[in-house]
Homo-oligomer: A and B are copies of this chain.
């Protein structure tokens, strides 16, 4: 056991950009987050860490059952925003992390950290939103925990949802499985969640109101898997929900994990007018803005037609489209072809573009 009188034993094996302290970007889902995992958590956890390609959820053998398991803490500010609140976000986000492994959610846990003085009515509204979102996603809230910290030690409330789900036999999705020739499929327009948060936080509106796209993607994923030969997704290599870090972050992660290049046709990526306007106003790239109800999939060209057709038949995939191709050139990199025919390297953000987005 650790002993308070022991000398400090931990030393960072690789300098974290010469930083000695946590910065906001370490929680942003970008390069700094990856470095924290690679250079701090994995070495410190030692032999007990499951070192693997970064996944939205781990897939484990539990007896004869294939179990997906994931966790996310939610610290979004403000707690309520256009189109949702921290409660439905926490349910949908964790359900979607399970769905990205092809899992049907079985149960969620709810771990609250409450600030002393929080109005019970606010907590009640958040919990009610969680119950409604869980019902929509077909998942139960089976176990929970509540801690209270003093006034000033949390911004109202934080909530962690962890989730377990079942992965059907034959379903194999992995971020390191993309191959040259695969098509990149996006389920719908990007940037709505991030812009919804920004609009309330900054008190600005961008033409029409933008609502968060927070939604559970399980049904959409199951329809995609069923559209493939054998019905278990043969030909779908990898899926990811582009939350923190945006679409650019998800594409870069899969390109890196699979050791392939991605050619992105930027003109094919649907960006709502209001998102475009907000990003122009704020100096942001829509490719870096968070989504909470979208997915990107890497799909064999022989099945991509059937997969996109199945997606378009689902409420949450009506605007599904092919946005790019996997190449064996420039492995680990994403290269965009802009609407004007120019090409550019699309990098993921270093740190946090919009802090406290989820």
Contacts and interface: CB of A to CB of B under 8 A. Distances in A.
**Residue with the greatest number of chain B CB neighbours at <10 A, chosen from A63, A72, A155, A214:** A63
A123 B40 CA distance: 8
A346 interface: no
A116 interface: yes
B48 A134 contact: yes
A168 B142 CA distance: 20
A205 to B, nearest CB: 13
B9 A111 contact: no
A181 interface: no
A71 B143 contact: yes
A62 B115 CA distance: 35
**Copy count, this protein chain:** 2
A44 B131 contact: yes
A71 B44 CA distance: 22
Interface in A77-116: 80-85, 87-88, 106-107, 109-116
A87 B1 CA distance: 10
Given A22-B114, A27-B114, A150-B24, A9 B125 contact: yes
Contacts of A38: none
A27 to B, nearest CB: 3
A160 B111 contact: yes
A10 B143 contact: no
A138 to B, nearest CB: 9
Given A41-B127, A128-B10, A21 B63 contact: no
Interface stretch (A12-20, A294-302, A326-334, A336-344): A12-20
Interface in A104-151: 106-107, 109-121, 123-125, 127-135, 139-150
Contact of A160 (B73, B115, B141): B73
Contacts of A74: 147
A144 B224 CA distance: 27
A49 interface: yes
A352 to B, nearest CB: 7
Contact of A80 (B2, B82, B116, B164): B2
Interface of A: 1-4, 8-12, 16, 19-28, 33, 36-37, 40-41, 44-50, 55, 57-58, 60, 62-65, 67, 69-75, 80-85, 87-88, 106-107, 109-121, 123-125, 127-135, 139-150, 152-155, 158, 160, 162, 164, 166, 200, 211, 214-215, 352, 355-356
4 closest residue pairs by CB, A with B: A27-B148, A162-B162, A44-B127, A71-B109
